[in-house]
A and B are shown apart, each in its own frame.
Chain A
Amino acid sequence: MSAQFPALIIIVPLLAALFVNIAGWIRRSLCFPTALAALVVSFLSAVGLMGRVMADGDVIYRMAGWDPPWGIALHIDHLNGIILILISLVAILNLIAHRTSAASQFTNRLGAFYALYLLFVTGLMGIVITGDTFNLYVLLEISSLSGYALLGMGGGRATLSSLHYLFLGTIGASFYLLGIGYLYIVTGSLNMVDIAGILPALENVAPVKVSFILCLVGLFIKMALFPLHTWLPNAYSHAPNPAASLIAPLTTKVMIYIMIRLILTVYQPDFAFIQMEIAEFIQWLAVIAIIAGSILAYKQNRLKRMLSYIIVVEVGYMVGGFWLGNAAGMTGAVLHVLNDAMMTLCVFLAAGAVMSRVQFDEFKHLQGLFGKMPYTMIAFVVGALSIIGVPPTCGFFSKWYLISGGINAGHYAFVAALIISSLVNVLLFFRVIEISYFEPFANHHHSHNHHAESLFQEASLDMLVPLLVTAGLLIAMGIYAHILVTQFIEPAVLPSLMGSL
């Protein structure tokens, strides 16, 4: 049975999505349990798969029994093994957290919501696990489409911002498709490892460079790197909470994973970093992304918009860290992919919990929450500390690697940008914590019913437990960062790096 883990990870959520849609019409109470069961199965198989990868190296799963260049092969190594576990974990936590609020928001469309939720997770898992470039495009589209639908569900500006996200996302995906097309013309194959074998032997390198640029530009749009980030703040801040706290932590991280996969497996690092001469340019792009993102985040007065801009900053960290080109930078970038997903989930869940009680997320509505919702705010503080980079939490360790990578590569502007953005993060988060800690609980948002004070209490239990579990995970990932790095990230990043640099 264990040989079938790669297929199980993808197929079980897909089948569950179909059942959930049917169950949505017949008996709506069935939807949540099936979705949860499917995600738990895929989480366990992801963990089992990671065990197999650790035991006997990379796992190649021939889909439909055909050998790689002809059929599609799923290729699992240390890097995507750990990210698979991350995605399924985030999906499970978010599913449990938003059980009641999803049921109340999507009353008779609950079946469709859970089906889209599962399809989004299947898309991401598929992207991470596949070893075929075109297959990656198809899965990219599935996750983006279900993302557009989930984000478009919110009221007011959500429709228009989701439409903008759709336009930019489609342009990005089409650029990526064109990039693979160029690769296909020159190499004739679609399988990543196969292409990597053919590329060095090619004499005319121009189309390969063009394809690399196209793929990169497409991915930069999808991951919202600074100049191309305009869709992200609107899309995430107007989205309904269950959708936002699922999509925000995962989409940009998986797109960065694709960039890492392309460079490490397909184009090989020495081609990407040395022959292309764009490493310098991208590092400066990342620096601008970090600084501009922090400043824009400071200007916001709504909690979720501020958090969205912080995601843009985190993307700047990861891209800048990865493009430093040295081992420390890359380890930092990959570790930051893991940490940032959990951090963003923790902070968005906390925002969701607050909004489930307060209905608005503008700062003036967050007064006196420490008194009323102590546990939620404690989890929010832990998430905030992790984003700032305070030691016991995991944010500090990835920042440590990024800074040491920056110093090794002699790119001091990047290090300075990291420090400045950490300081701005301190200001950002403590501004929010101050408001909710100092100002008395003004219940102007419950003016109509008089006994609001007593009624207003902590977030519901099934929202609170995942939140506290995530906060605990943040600290655990911090303390055991060393194990994460030596066991999972280094074996993934270093061989291909050592081979070429």
Chain B
Amino acid sequence: MPDLLSLFLAKYNYWVVIFLMMIGLYAMMAKNNLVKKIIGMNIFQTAVILFYVSIATKHDASIPIIGHGHNGHHAIHAADYMNPLPHVLMLTAIVVSVATLGVALALAVKAYQQHDTLEEDEIIEQLKTDYLSQQ
């Protein structure tokens, strides 16, 4: 039993990511209000970002900026600094999630303008009635 617990403790960051993703997924599927769906989507994307950032850390390594003393005269060994690559990737991923959030909100605002409700079932109801009236 202890190894399962230690296994969990040693790698807790992966479990947290999975947990967050499930919350995000649940919110996107189950919630009726459009904005809540968008929040769920954002949680989902942030979970993936958290996953990447958690890879980058190293025990007792400082932030990936080379200190002043190191301008070239003696070797920099990698163990001192955190892995910069995931941080770079996540800068891009954060920007992407913000952009998607922006477009989603724009669509939600447009939906609100057309149907002046954010509840998805009411919108679908209105669309049905318009469609039938068109027939």
Contacts and interface: CB of A to CB of B under 8 A. Distances in A.
Is any CB of A less than 8 Å from a CB of B in the complex? yes
B22 interface: no
B51 A178 contact: yes
B82 interface: no
A356 interface: no
Contact of B25 (A137, A162, A171): A171
A159 B111 contact: yes
A160 B111 contact: yes
Interface stretch (A149-157, A252-260, A365-373, A479-487): A149-157
A152 B110 contact: yes
A141 B127 contact: no
A32 interface: no
B100 A138 contact: no
A163 B34 contact: yes
Interface residues of B, number: 33
Nearest to B96: A141
Interface in A172-195: 174, 177-178, 181, 184-185, 190
A166 B44 contact: no
Contact of B41 (A137, A145, A170): A170
A141 B103 CA distance: 12
A178 B48 contact: yes
Interface of A is mostly: helix
B61 interface: no
Contact of B48 (A141, A156, A174): A174
B124 interface: yes
A159 B110 contact: yes
Contacts of B99: 141, 145
A163 B41 CA distance: 12
B89 interface: yes
A159 B100 contact: no
A181 B55 CA distance: 9
A438 interface: no
A181 B48 contact: yes
Nearest to A166: B104
Contacts of B114: 159
A148 B37 contact: no
A134 B85 CA distance: 11
Nearest to A157: B127
Interface in B32-60: 34, 37, 41, 44-45, 48, 51-52, 55
A263 B16 CA distance: 30
Contact of A184 (B48, B55, B120): B55
A184 B53 CA distance: 12
Nearest to A189: B85
Contacts of A137: 93, 96
Contacts of B28: 167, 171
Contacts of B25: 171
Contacts of B103: 145, 148-149, 166
Contacts of B130: 156
A141 B92 CA distance: 11
Interface string B2-39: 00000000000000000001000100100000100100
Contact of A167 (B41, B85, B86): B41
Given A152-B110, A160-B123, A178-B51, A171 B44 contact: yes
A222 to B, nearest CB: 14
B107 interface: yes
A170 B37 contact: no
A157 B127 CA distance: 7
A185 B11 CA distance: 13
Given A137-B93, A141-B96, A163-B108, 9 more contacts: A134-B89, A145-B103, A148-B107, A149-B103, A159-B114, A162-B107, A163-B104, A167-B37, A184-B55
11 contacts: A138-B92, A149-B103, A159-B110, A163-B104, A166-B104, A166-B107, A167-B104, A171-B28, A171-B44, A184-B52, A184-B55
The 10 A-B pairs with the shortest beta carbon distances in the complex, nearest first, are A163-B107, A141-B96, A159-B111, A159-B110, A174-B48, A177-B48, A157-B127, A134-B89, A178-B48, A152-B107
